[in-house]
């Protein structure tokens, strides 16, 4: 028969809660181990009810070499650091425009967060659409590598 009420509610007020002599359920030895001990043995019922997928392998792990790793940089960063990059020799000044190759800085994609105050010629393997639009709007050039 299905129990409509939890057994502990029935046991309220009793001293041993149906465990016989109070000395019997005293120690940690009554627990049957620590943590997930006995998940496949004496705690099998709990395993089946609570964690059905405890045993076996599940799912698929993609090989890391097949996943392309993006290392993006924002336009705001390039705009702020353009002069410093020229001083460090990591960018070249050609007329009014500054030419920045983001692969030399360790990046492989340019994102369009921020804005440009000066015309920049940026070389990168990839550009977001918003980045390309903002570069051309500021009078610069986006060159795909």
Given a cut of 80, is residue 100 above it in pLDDT?
Answer: yes
Given a cut of 80, is residue 110 above it in pLDDT?
Answer: yes
Instruction: Check residue 87 and give its pLDDT.
Output: 92
Q: Quick one: residue 95, left, alpha or beta (phi over 0 = left, psi -120 to 50 = alpha)?
A: left
In the chain, ranges of CATH 4.10.990 domains: 7-59
Given a cut of 90, is residue 5 above it in pLDDT?
Answer: no
Residue 14 token pair: 């009793």
Instruction: Check residue 72 and give its pLDDT.
Output: 95
In the chain, ranges of CATH 3.100.10.10 domains: 72-144
Ordered DSSP codes for 53-109: TSSS--S----GGGSPPP-EEEHHHHHHHHHHHHHHTSEEEETTEEEEETTTTT--E
User: What is the distance between the alpha carbons of residues 83 and 17, in angstroms, rounded to a whole number?
Assistant: 77
Given a cut of 90, is residue 8 above it in pLDDT?
Answer: no
Instruction: Check residue 7 and give its pLDDT.
Output: 87
Instruction: Check residue 113 and give its pLDDT.
Output: 92
Residue 83 token pair: 């002069």
Instruction: Check residue 74 and give its pLDDT.
Output: 94
User: pLDDT tens-digit profile of 9-55?
Assistant: 989 999 998 889 999 888 888 889 998 899 999 999 999 999 999 99
**Do 128 and 110 form a contact (C-beta atoms < 8 A)?**
yes
Q: What is the CATH number of domain 7-59?
A: 4.10.990
User: pLDDT tens-digit profile of 44-99?
Assistant: 999 999 999 999 999 999 999 999 999 999 999 999 998 999 999 999 988 888 99
Q: What is the CATH number of domain 72-144?
A: 3.100.10.10
Q: Say how many residues make up the chain.
A: 145
**Do 132 and 123 form a contact (C-beta atoms < 8 A)?**
no
């Amino acid at each position: 028969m299905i129990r409509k009420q939890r057994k502990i509610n029935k046991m309220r007020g009793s001293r041993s809660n149906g465990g016989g002599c109070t000395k019997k359920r005293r120690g940690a030895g009554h627990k049957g181990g620590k943590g997930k001990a006995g998940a496949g043995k004496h705690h099998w019922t709990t395993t089946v009810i609570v964690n059905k997928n405890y045993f076996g392998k599940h799912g698929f792990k993609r090989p890391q070499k097949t996943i392309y790793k993006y290392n993006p940089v924002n336009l705001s960063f390039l705009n702020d650091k353009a002069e410093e990059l020229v001083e460090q020799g990591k960018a070249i000044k050609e007329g009014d425009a500054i030419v920045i190759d983001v692969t030399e800085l360790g990046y492989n994609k340019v994102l369009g967060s921020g804005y440009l105050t000066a015309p920049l010629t940026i070389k990168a393997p990839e550009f977001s659409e918003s980045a390309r639009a903002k570069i051309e709007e500021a009078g610069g050039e986006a060159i795909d590598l």
